[in-house]
Amino acid sequence: MGLATMRKIGLLLSLLVIVLLAAVFTYSNPDSITVDIGFVRLEEVSMSFAFAVCFAVGWLFGLFSAGIAVMRIVSERRQLRRNLRLAEAEVSSLRSLPLHDAN
């Protein structure tokens, strides 16, 4: 078995475990709750749905935050590569200059 196949199997098993945990959570919490988020009040929302929405919103916020961090790193890397090319060009031009005696 290749590494890619093992990763696919691991991902599939992880998703299966998450689905099973969500099903157990939903089965264990059939009650409805009232959700008040400050500017809106939702009546009769199932607890599992409220939990899933909170989880999804947190996950999306995490992806957004990680995306911003990745974009900053990519931008910094691009700037560092540009500076490296300029420094290498300068060193190359300095090496081609003839040496003068200090006398």
Which pair of structure tokens corresponds to residue 80? 């560092």
Does any domain span residue 1? no
Res. 101: pLDDT tops 70: no
4 is a domain residue: no
What pLDDT, on a 0 to 100 scale, did the predictor assign at position 50?
87
Q: Dump the DSSP string for 43-95.
A: EEEEHHHHHHHHHHHHHHHHHHHHHHHHHHHHHHHHHHHHHHHHHHHHHHHHH
User: What per-residue confidence (pLDDT) applies to 103?
Assistant: 56
The answer to whether position 102 is within a domain reads no
Tell me how many domains the chain contains: 1
Residue 10: inside a domain: no
Mean pLDDT for the chain?
90
Read off the pLDDT of residues 1-24 as tens digits, 9 standing for 90 and up.
788 899 999 999 999 998 899 889
In a domain, residue 77? The reply is yes
For 23-35, write each residue's pLDDT tens digit.
Answer: 898 888 888 888 8
- Domain hosting 93: range is 49-97
User: Would residue 14 count as lying in a domain?
Assistant: no
Q: Which tens digit of pLDDT belongs to each residue from 26-74?
A: 888 888 888 888 888 888 888 888 888 898 999 999 999 999 999 999 9
Residue 39 lies in a domain: no
